[in-house]
Chains A and B, each alone.
Chain A
Protein backbone atom coordinates (compact mmCIF):
# COMPACT_ATOMS: atom_id res chain seq x y z
CA UNK A 1 0.00 0.00 0.00
CA UNK A 2 2.75 2.41 1.01
CA UNK A 3 4.81 1.13 -1.93
CA UNK A 4 1.95 1.89 -4.33
CA UNK A 5 1.47 5.40 -2.91
CA UNK A 6 5.19 6.11 -3.11
CA UNK A 7 5.25 4.75 -6.65
CA UNK A 8 2.43 7.08 -7.76
CA UNK A 9 4.03 10.15 -6.19
CA UNK A 10 7.40 9.28 -7.77
CA UNK A 11 5.72 8.64 -11.12
CA UNK A 12 3.87 11.96 -11.15
CA UNK A 13 6.98 13.87 -10.10
CA UNK A 14 8.95 12.14 -12.86
CA UNK A 15 6.24 13.02 -15.39
CA UNK A 16 6.30 16.64 -14.21
CA UNK A 17 10.06 16.64 -14.63
CA UNK A 18 9.71 15.35 -18.20
CA UNK A 19 7.05 18.00 -18.98
CA UNK A 20 8.49 20.99 -17.25
CA UNK A 21 6.46 23.47 -19.30
CA UNK A 22 3.22 22.37 -17.60
CA UNK A 23 4.65 23.10 -14.19
CA UNK A 24 6.14 26.39 -15.31
CA UNK A 25 2.80 27.55 -16.75
CA UNK A 26 1.00 27.51 -13.39
CA UNK A 27 3.89 29.17 -11.60
CA UNK A 28 4.32 31.84 -14.27
CA UNK A 29 0.59 32.51 -14.18
CA UNK A 30 0.84 33.14 -10.43
CA UNK A 31 3.80 35.47 -10.83
CA UNK A 32 2.26 37.41 -13.72
CA UNK A 33 -1.21 37.86 -12.16
CA UNK A 34 0.31 38.98 -8.86
CA UNK A 35 2.69 41.35 -10.69
CA UNK A 36 -0.04 42.99 -12.78
CA UNK A 37 -1.84 44.49 -9.79
CA UNK A 38 0.89 46.96 -8.72
CA UNK A 39 1.02 48.10 -12.37
CA UNK A 40 -2.74 48.46 -12.56
CA UNK A 41 -3.60 50.12 -9.24
CA UNK A 42 -0.56 52.39 -9.15
CA UNK A 43 2.43 52.65 -6.87
CA UNK A 44 0.71 53.94 -3.73
CA UNK A 45 2.59 52.02 -0.99
CA UNK A 46 -0.20 52.05 1.60
CA UNK A 47 -2.76 50.77 -0.90
CA UNK A 48 -0.39 48.05 -2.11
CA UNK A 49 0.39 46.95 1.43
CA UNK A 50 -3.34 46.74 2.14
CA UNK A 51 -4.27 44.64 -0.90
CA UNK A 52 -1.17 42.40 -0.86
CA UNK A 53 -2.55 39.44 1.14
CA UNK A 54 -5.79 39.31 -0.82
CA UNK A 55 -4.14 39.61 -4.23
CA UNK A 56 -1.48 37.01 -3.50
CA UNK A 57 -4.08 34.60 -2.17
CA UNK A 58 -6.43 35.09 -5.13
CA UNK A 59 -3.54 34.59 -7.56
CA UNK A 60 -2.51 31.40 -5.74
CA UNK A 61 -6.08 30.16 -5.85
CA UNK A 62 -6.49 30.78 -9.59
CA UNK A 63 -3.12 29.29 -10.38
CA UNK A 64 -3.90 26.14 -8.43
CA UNK A 65 -7.18 25.86 -10.37
CA UNK A 66 -5.32 26.14 -13.66
CA UNK A 67 -3.54 22.83 -13.20
CA UNK A 68 -6.53 20.92 -11.79
CA UNK A 69 -7.91 19.97 -15.21
CA UNK A 70 -4.78 17.96 -15.93
CA UNK A 71 -4.79 16.13 -12.61
CA UNK A 72 -6.68 13.05 -13.83
CA UNK A 73 -7.40 13.86 -17.49
CA UNK A 74 -4.14 12.49 -18.97
CA UNK A 75 -4.30 9.31 -16.88
CA UNK A 76 -7.93 8.87 -17.92
CA UNK A 77 -7.12 9.29 -21.61
CA UNK A 78 -4.27 6.78 -21.78
CA UNK A 79 -5.89 4.14 -19.58
CA UNK A 80 -3.46 4.35 -16.67
CA UNK A 81 -6.24 5.60 -14.40
CA UNK A 82 -8.16 2.34 -14.92
CA UNK A 83 -5.03 0.45 -13.94
CA UNK A 84 -4.67 2.54 -10.78
CA UNK A 85 -8.30 1.83 -9.86
CA UNK A 86 -7.54 -1.88 -10.29
CA UNK A 87 -4.33 -1.71 -8.31
CA UNK A 88 -3.50 -3.53 -5.11
CA UNK A 89 -3.93 -0.36 -3.02
CA UNK A 90 -7.30 1.11 -1.99
CA UNK A 91 -8.42 3.84 -4.40
CA UNK A 92 -8.47 6.39 -1.55
CA UNK A 93 -4.73 5.90 -1.08
CA UNK A 94 -4.18 6.28 -4.83
CA UNK A 95 -6.20 9.53 -4.77
CA UNK A 96 -4.25 10.87 -1.79
CA UNK A 97 -0.95 10.11 -3.55
CA UNK A 98 -2.12 11.85 -6.75
CA UNK A 99 -3.12 14.94 -4.75
CA UNK A 100 0.15 14.99 -2.83
CA UNK A 101 2.11 14.88 -6.08
CA UNK A 102 -0.11 17.63 -7.52
CA UNK A 103 0.53 19.84 -4.51
CA UNK A 104 4.29 19.21 -4.59
CA UNK A 105 4.34 20.27 -8.23
CA UNK A 106 1.84 23.13 -8.25
CA UNK A 107 1.34 24.26 -4.63
CA UNK A 108 4.76 24.13 -3.04
CA UNK A 109 6.46 26.32 -5.68
CA UNK A 110 3.82 29.02 -5.04
CA UNK A 111 4.57 28.93 -1.32
CA UNK A 112 8.27 29.24 -2.04
CA UNK A 113 7.95 32.16 -4.42
CA UNK A 114 5.30 34.10 -2.45
CA UNK A 115 7.82 36.16 -0.40
CA UNK A 116 9.34 37.39 -3.64
CA UNK A 117 5.92 38.52 -4.85
CA UNK A 118 5.24 40.15 -1.47
CA UNK A 119 8.35 42.25 -2.03
CA UNK A 120 6.57 44.02 -4.90
CA UNK A 121 3.82 45.05 -2.51
CA UNK A 122 6.24 46.33 0.13
CA UNK A 123 4.74 43.90 2.62
CA UNK A 124 6.51 44.43 5.97
CA UNK A 125 9.11 41.71 6.60
CA UNK A 126 7.52 40.36 9.83
CA UNK A 127 4.41 39.40 7.81
CA UNK A 128 6.32 37.09 5.47
CA UNK A 129 6.22 34.28 7.99
CA UNK A 130 2.44 34.48 8.34
CA UNK A 131 1.96 34.69 4.57
CA UNK A 132 4.11 31.64 3.89
CA UNK A 133 2.56 29.69 6.75
CA UNK A 134 -0.99 30.49 5.61
CA UNK A 135 -0.15 29.40 2.05
CA UNK A 136 1.58 26.28 3.35
CA UNK A 137 -1.59 25.28 5.21
CA UNK A 138 -4.03 26.54 2.61
CA UNK A 139 -2.70 25.37 -0.77
CA UNK A 140 -2.95 21.63 0.12
CA UNK A 141 -6.62 22.26 0.97
CA UNK A 142 -7.06 23.85 -2.46
CA UNK A 143 -5.49 20.78 -4.11
CA UNK A 144 -7.64 18.37 -2.09
CA UNK A 145 -10.94 20.17 -2.73
CA UNK A 146 -10.01 20.82 -6.35
CA UNK A 147 -9.22 17.15 -6.91
CA UNK A 148 -12.77 16.19 -5.88
CA UNK A 149 -14.09 18.57 -8.54
CA UNK A 150 -11.56 17.33 -11.10
CA UNK A 151 -12.60 13.73 -10.47
CA UNK A 152 -16.30 14.58 -10.76
CA UNK A 153 -15.91 16.48 -14.04
CA UNK A 154 -13.53 13.93 -15.57
CA UNK A 155 -14.37 13.18 -19.18
CA UNK A 156 -17.19 15.73 -19.40
CA UNK A 157 -17.50 18.15 -22.28
CA UNK A 158 -16.92 21.68 -21.03
CA UNK A 159 -15.58 20.15 -17.84
CA UNK A 160 -13.20 23.07 -17.31
CA UNK A 161 -15.95 25.63 -16.80
CA UNK A 162 -18.00 23.27 -14.69
CA UNK A 163 -14.94 22.56 -12.57
CA UNK A 164 -14.49 26.28 -11.81
CA UNK A 165 -18.17 26.68 -10.92
CA UNK A 166 -18.01 23.64 -8.69
CA UNK A 167 -14.76 24.34 -6.93
CA UNK A 168 -14.50 28.12 -6.55
CA UNK A 169 -17.34 28.46 -3.99
CA UNK A 170 -15.64 25.79 -1.89
CA UNK A 171 -12.37 27.72 -2.10
CA UNK A 172 -13.96 30.80 -0.50
CA UNK A 173 -13.45 29.84 3.19
CA UNK A 174 -9.79 29.02 2.51
CA UNK A 175 -9.37 32.40 0.80
CA UNK A 176 -11.08 34.30 3.64
CA UNK A 177 -9.05 32.72 6.41
CA UNK A 178 -5.82 32.63 4.41
CA UNK A 179 -5.84 36.29 3.46
CA UNK A 180 -7.45 37.15 6.80
CA UNK A 181 -4.55 35.72 8.77
CA UNK A 182 -2.08 38.05 7.03
CA UNK A 183 -4.46 41.00 7.50
CA UNK A 184 -4.67 40.22 11.21
CA UNK A 185 -0.91 40.10 11.52
CA UNK A 186 -0.68 43.40 9.60
CA UNK A 187 -3.09 44.97 12.11
CA UNK A 188 -0.77 43.89 14.90
CA UNK A 189 -3.04 41.12 16.16
CA UNK A 190 -2.28 37.46 16.48
CA UNK A 191 -3.13 35.46 13.29
CA UNK A 192 -3.27 32.27 15.35
CA UNK A 193 -7.03 31.85 15.16
CA UNK A 194 -7.14 32.00 11.36
CA UNK A 195 -4.11 29.76 10.98
CA UNK A 196 -5.63 27.18 13.30
CA UNK A 197 -8.82 27.23 11.27
CA UNK A 198 -6.77 26.67 8.11
CA UNK A 199 -4.99 23.78 9.83
CA UNK A 200 -8.36 22.32 10.83
CA UNK A 201 -9.56 22.58 7.22
CA UNK A 202 -6.39 20.83 6.09
CA UNK A 203 -6.87 17.97 8.54
CA UNK A 204 -10.54 17.57 7.68
CA UNK A 205 -10.03 17.68 3.92
CA UNK A 206 -7.00 15.35 4.09
CA UNK A 207 -9.13 12.86 6.01
CA UNK A 208 -12.25 12.98 3.84
CA UNK A 209 -11.33 14.26 0.37
CA UNK A 210 -9.38 11.13 -0.77
CA UNK A 211 -12.46 8.94 -0.27
CA UNK A 212 -14.69 11.45 -2.04
CA UNK A 213 -12.17 11.55 -4.91
CA UNK A 214 -12.12 7.75 -5.01
CA UNK A 215 -15.91 7.58 -5.24
CA UNK A 216 -15.98 10.30 -7.92
CA UNK A 217 -13.29 8.52 -9.96
CA UNK A 218 -15.26 5.26 -9.86
CA UNK A 219 -18.32 7.08 -11.20
CA UNK A 220 -16.39 8.97 -13.87
CA UNK A 221 -14.64 5.91 -15.27
CA UNK A 222 -17.85 3.88 -15.74
Chain B
Protein backbone atom coordinates (compact mmCIF):
# COMPACT_ATOMS: atom_id res chain seq x y z
CA UNK B 1 0.00 0.00 0.00
CA UNK B 2 2.58 2.51 1.13
CA UNK B 3 5.99 2.67 -0.46
CA UNK B 4 8.86 4.95 0.47
CA UNK B 5 11.79 5.10 -1.90
CA UNK B 6 15.18 6.72 -1.36
CA UNK B 7 14.01 9.24 1.20
CA UNK B 8 16.52 11.87 2.27
CA UNK B 9 15.72 14.25 5.07
CA UNK B 10 17.70 17.17 6.44
CA UNK B 11 16.65 19.28 9.38
CA UNK B 12 18.66 22.27 10.51
CA UNK B 13 21.50 21.48 8.13
CA UNK B 14 21.97 17.97 9.55
CA UNK B 15 21.16 14.85 7.58
CA UNK B 16 18.69 12.73 9.55
CA UNK B 17 18.51 9.84 7.15
CA UNK B 18 19.61 9.02 3.63
CA UNK B 19 18.33 6.58 1.00
CA UNK B 20 15.65 5.22 3.27
CA UNK B 21 13.40 2.80 1.43
CA UNK B 22 10.72 0.49 2.71
CA UNK B 23 7.26 -0.76 1.88
CA UNK B 24 4.27 -1.24 4.11
CA UNK B 25 1.47 -3.53 3.04
CA UNK B 26 -1.97 -4.18 4.45
CA UNK B 27 -1.78 -6.34 7.56
CA UNK B 28 1.68 -5.08 8.44
CA UNK B 29 2.92 -3.13 11.40
CA UNK B 30 5.87 -0.75 11.09
CA UNK B 31 7.74 0.44 14.11
CA UNK B 32 9.98 3.46 13.66
CA UNK B 33 12.67 3.27 16.32
CA UNK B 34 15.53 5.57 17.18
CA UNK B 35 16.93 7.95 19.74
CA UNK B 36 15.59 11.45 20.41
CA UNK B 37 16.28 13.68 17.44
CA UNK B 38 16.93 10.81 15.05
CA UNK B 39 14.08 11.88 12.75
CA UNK B 40 11.19 9.65 13.79
CA UNK B 41 8.64 12.47 13.75
CA UNK B 42 10.08 13.87 10.52
CA UNK B 43 9.72 10.47 8.87
CA UNK B 44 6.07 10.20 9.91
CA UNK B 45 5.42 13.73 8.66
CA UNK B 46 7.00 12.83 5.34
CA UNK B 47 4.84 9.70 5.16
CA UNK B 48 1.64 11.69 5.71
CA UNK B 49 2.67 14.46 3.34
CA UNK B 50 3.11 17.34 5.79
CA UNK B 51 6.83 17.45 5.11
CA UNK B 52 8.52 17.21 1.73
CA UNK B 53 11.58 14.94 1.68
CA UNK B 54 14.74 16.48 0.25
CA UNK B 55 14.91 13.55 -2.10
CA UNK B 56 12.85 10.52 -2.93
CA UNK B 57 9.13 10.08 -2.80
CA UNK B 58 6.32 8.35 -0.99
CA UNK B 59 3.80 6.40 -3.05
CA UNK B 60 0.34 5.26 -2.09
CA UNK B 61 -0.91 2.34 -4.18
CA UNK B 62 1.65 3.22 -6.81
CA UNK B 63 0.92 6.94 -7.07
CA UNK B 64 2.91 9.76 -5.55
CA UNK B 65 1.18 11.23 -2.51
CA UNK B 66 2.09 14.73 -3.69
CA UNK B 67 -0.20 14.21 -6.64
CA UNK B 68 -2.97 12.48 -4.66
CA UNK B 69 -3.15 15.06 -1.84
CA UNK B 70 -6.61 14.86 -0.26
CA UNK B 71 -7.37 11.59 -2.05
CA UNK B 72 -4.48 10.19 -0.02
CA UNK B 73 -5.48 12.07 3.12
CA UNK B 74 -8.87 10.32 3.10
CA UNK B 75 -7.02 7.01 3.47
CA UNK B 76 -5.00 7.90 6.52
CA UNK B 77 -5.24 8.82 10.15
CA UNK B 78 -2.31 10.83 11.48
CA UNK B 79 -1.95 11.45 15.19
CA UNK B 80 0.93 13.80 15.76
CA UNK B 81 3.00 14.88 18.72
CA UNK B 82 0.46 17.51 19.75
CA UNK B 83 -2.86 15.96 20.72
CA UNK B 84 -4.70 18.26 18.25
CA UNK B 85 -7.57 18.99 20.59
CA UNK B 86 -8.99 22.44 21.21
CA UNK B 87 -8.80 23.48 24.86
CA UNK B 88 -12.10 25.34 24.80
CA UNK B 89 -14.14 22.51 23.31
CA UNK B 90 -15.30 19.35 25.02
CA UNK B 91 -13.76 15.99 24.16
CA UNK B 92 -16.94 15.01 22.28
CA UNK B 93 -16.93 18.21 20.21
CA UNK B 94 -13.25 17.74 19.41
CA UNK B 95 -13.76 14.16 18.33
CA UNK B 96 -16.78 14.80 16.12
CA UNK B 97 -15.04 17.78 14.46
CA UNK B 98 -11.90 15.72 13.82
CA UNK B 99 -14.02 12.98 12.25
CA UNK B 100 -16.03 15.36 10.06
CA UNK B 101 -12.83 16.96 8.76
CA UNK B 102 -11.40 13.60 7.74
CA UNK B 103 -14.67 12.62 6.12
CA UNK B 104 -15.70 9.99 8.66
CA UNK B 105 -19.33 9.72 9.66
CA UNK B 106 -19.48 10.12 13.43
CA UNK B 107 -22.95 10.11 14.98
CA UNK B 108 -23.13 11.48 18.54
CA UNK B 109 -23.83 7.99 19.88
CA UNK B 110 -20.60 6.43 18.57
CA UNK B 111 -18.59 9.49 19.63
CA UNK B 112 -19.79 9.04 23.19
CA UNK B 113 -19.12 5.30 23.09
CA UNK B 114 -15.58 5.89 21.83
CA UNK B 115 -14.86 8.41 24.59
CA UNK B 116 -16.38 6.13 27.22
CA UNK B 117 -14.16 3.25 26.07
CA UNK B 118 -11.15 5.47 26.58
CA UNK B 119 -12.43 6.25 30.06
CA UNK B 120 -13.13 9.93 29.55
CA UNK B 121 -15.71 11.64 31.76
CA UNK B 122 -19.04 12.27 30.07
CA UNK B 123 -20.57 15.70 30.18
CA UNK B 124 -19.69 19.22 29.17
CA UNK B 125 -16.11 19.44 30.44
CA UNK B 126 -13.80 21.54 28.25
CA UNK B 127 -10.54 19.78 27.43
CA UNK B 128 -8.69 22.59 29.25
CA UNK B 129 -9.78 21.02 32.55
CA UNK B 130 -8.47 17.55 31.64
CA UNK B 131 -5.03 16.19 32.45
CA UNK B 132 -2.28 15.63 29.88
CA UNK B 133 -2.99 11.91 29.72
CA UNK B 134 -6.72 12.48 29.34
CA UNK B 135 -6.10 14.84 26.43
CA UNK B 136 -4.04 12.13 24.82
CA UNK B 137 -6.91 9.68 25.37
CA UNK B 138 -9.33 12.15 23.79
CA UNK B 139 -7.09 12.28 20.70
CA UNK B 140 -6.64 8.51 20.54
CA UNK B 141 -10.39 7.90 20.79
CA UNK B 142 -10.42 8.85 17.11
CA UNK B 143 -8.87 5.47 16.34
CA UNK B 144 -12.04 3.73 17.53
CA UNK B 145 -14.02 5.58 14.85
CA UNK B 146 -11.35 5.15 12.17
CA UNK B 147 -11.35 1.35 11.89
CA UNK B 148 -12.30 1.63 8.23
CA UNK B 149 -9.40 3.91 7.33
CA UNK B 150 -6.61 1.75 5.85
CA UNK B 151 -3.48 3.56 7.05
CA UNK B 152 -2.69 4.76 10.56
CA UNK B 153 0.37 6.90 11.24
CA UNK B 154 0.83 7.35 14.97
CA UNK B 155 3.53 9.51 16.51
CA UNK B 156 4.30 8.38 20.07
CA UNK B 157 0.81 6.98 20.68
CA UNK B 158 1.81 5.66 24.12
CA UNK B 159 3.28 8.88 25.49
CA UNK B 160 1.62 10.10 28.70
CA UNK B 161 -0.76 7.12 28.79
CA UNK B 162 -1.33 4.94 31.84
CA UNK B 163 -1.17 1.14 31.61
CA UNK B 164 -4.86 0.54 30.84
CA UNK B 165 -5.07 3.17 28.09
CA UNK B 166 -1.80 1.93 26.60
CA UNK B 167 -3.18 -1.62 26.57
CA UNK B 168 -6.37 -0.50 24.84
CA UNK B 169 -4.32 1.38 22.21
CA UNK B 170 -2.14 -1.70 21.63
CA UNK B 171 -5.25 -3.82 21.17
CA UNK B 172 -6.71 -1.33 18.70
CA UNK B 173 -3.50 -1.30 16.66
CA UNK B 174 -3.31 -5.11 16.73
CA UNK B 175 -6.92 -5.51 15.61
CA UNK B 176 -6.49 -2.92 12.86
CA UNK B 177 -3.47 -4.77 11.52
CA UNK B 178 -5.29 -8.12 11.85
CA UNK B 179 -8.16 -6.64 9.85
CA UNK B 180 -5.88 -5.83 6.90
CA UNK B 181 -4.96 -2.27 7.79
CA UNK B 182 -1.43 -0.88 7.94
CA UNK B 183 0.00 0.93 10.93
CA UNK B 184 3.25 2.86 11.29
CA UNK B 185 4.12 4.17 14.71
CA UNK B 186 7.01 5.62 16.65
CA UNK B 187 7.74 4.82 20.25
CA UNK B 188 10.42 4.93 22.91
CA UNK B 189 8.76 2.37 25.09
CA UNK B 190 8.70 -1.32 24.36
CA UNK B 191 5.20 -1.88 23.13
CA UNK B 192 3.76 -5.35 23.04
CA UNK B 193 1.64 -5.53 19.92
CA UNK B 194 0.79 -8.80 18.26
CA UNK B 195 1.00 -8.57 14.50
CA UNK B 196 1.55 -11.02 11.68
CA UNK B 197 4.33 -9.00 10.06
CA UNK B 198 6.33 -6.59 12.17
CA UNK B 199 8.82 -4.33 10.41
CA UNK B 200 11.25 -2.07 12.17
CA UNK B 201 12.93 1.00 10.74
CA UNK B 202 15.88 1.95 12.91
CA UNK B 203 16.96 5.56 12.54
CA UNK B 204 20.16 7.21 13.69
Cβ of B133 < 8 Å from any Cβ of A? no
Docked complex Cα distance between A221 and B41 (Å): 13
Of A77, A85, A88, most B-chain CB atoms within 10 Å = A88
Chain B nearest CB, measured from A76 CB (Å): 9
Residue of A nearest to B135 (CB): A78
**Contact (A86, B102) CB under 8 Å given A15-B88, A79-B80:** yes
Pair A86/B78 contact, Cβ less than 8 Å: yes
Docked complex Cα distance between A83 and B81 (Å): 12
Pair A78/B102 contact, Cβ less than 8 Å: no
Interface residues in A83-100 by Cβ distance below 8 A to B read 83-91
Pair B102/A88 contact, Cβ less than 8 Å: yes
Pair B69/A222 contact, Cβ less than 8 Å: no
The answer, among A8, A18, A19, for a CB contact under 8 Å with B101, is A8
- Number of interface residues, chain B, beta carbon within 8 A: 29
Docked complex Cα distance between A91 and B73 (Å): 11
Pair A11/B84 contact, Cβ less than 8 Å: no
Docked complex Cα distance between A79 and B135 (Å): 13
A interface footprint on B42-64 (CB within 8 Å = 1, 0 otherwise): 00000011111000000000000
| In the complex, chain A residues whose CB is within 8 Å of the CB of B74 | 88
Pair A4/B101 contact, Cβ less than 8 Å: yes
**Contact (A80, B84) CB under 8 Å given A87-B103, A89-B101:** yes
A interface footprint on B94-118 (CB within 8 Å = 1, 0 otherwise): 0001101111000000000000000
Pair B70/A88 contact, Cβ less than 8 Å: yes
Docked complex Cα distance between A11 and B95 (Å): 12
What does DSSP make chain B's interface, helix, strand, loop or mixed? loop
Docked complex Cα distance between A77 and B84 (Å): 9
| In the complex, chain B residues whose CB is within 8 Å of the CB of A83 | 78, 80, 84, 98, 101-102
Residue of B nearest to A3 (CB): B100
| In the complex, chain A residues whose CB is within 8 Å of the CB of B86 | 11, 15, 78, 80
Pair B73/A86 contact, Cβ less than 8 Å: yes
- Interface size of A as a range: 20 to 34
The answer, among A8, A14, A89, A221, for a CB contact under 8 Å with B70, is A89
| In the complex, chain B residues whose CB is within 8 Å of the CB of A11 | 86, 89, 97
Cβ of B29 < 8 Å from any Cβ of A? no
The answer, among B48, B52, B93, for a CB contact under 8 Å with A14, is B93
Chain A nearest CB, measured from B181 CB (Å): 17
Cβ of B34 < 8 Å from any Cβ of A? no
Docked complex Cα distance between A83 and B86 (Å): 12
Residue of B nearest to A221 (CB): B50
Pair B82/A79 contact, Cβ less than 8 Å: yes
Cβ of A7 < 8 Å from any Cβ of B? yes
Pair A88/B103 contact, Cβ less than 8 Å: yes
| In the complex, chain B residues whose CB is within 8 Å of the CB of A79 | 80-84
Residue of B nearest to A85 (CB): B50
Pair B100/A7 contact, Cβ less than 8 Å: yes
Pair A90/B50 contact, Cβ less than 8 Å: no
Chain B nearest CB, measured from A147 CB (Å): 19
The answer, among B48, B52, B87, B93, for a CB contact under 8 Å with A78, is B87
Q: Can you give 19 contacting A-B residue pairs, CB < 8 Å? A: A7-B97, A11-B89, A11-B97, A77-B82, A78-B84, A78-B87, A79-B83, A79-B84, A82-B78, A82-B84, A83-B78, A86-B48, A86-B73, A87-B102, A88-B101, A88-B102, A89-B70, A221-B50, A222-B52
Smallest CB-CB A-B distances: 9 pairs: A79-B82, A88-B103, A79-B84, A87-B101, A18-B88, A7-B100, A86-B73, A88-B74, A83-B84
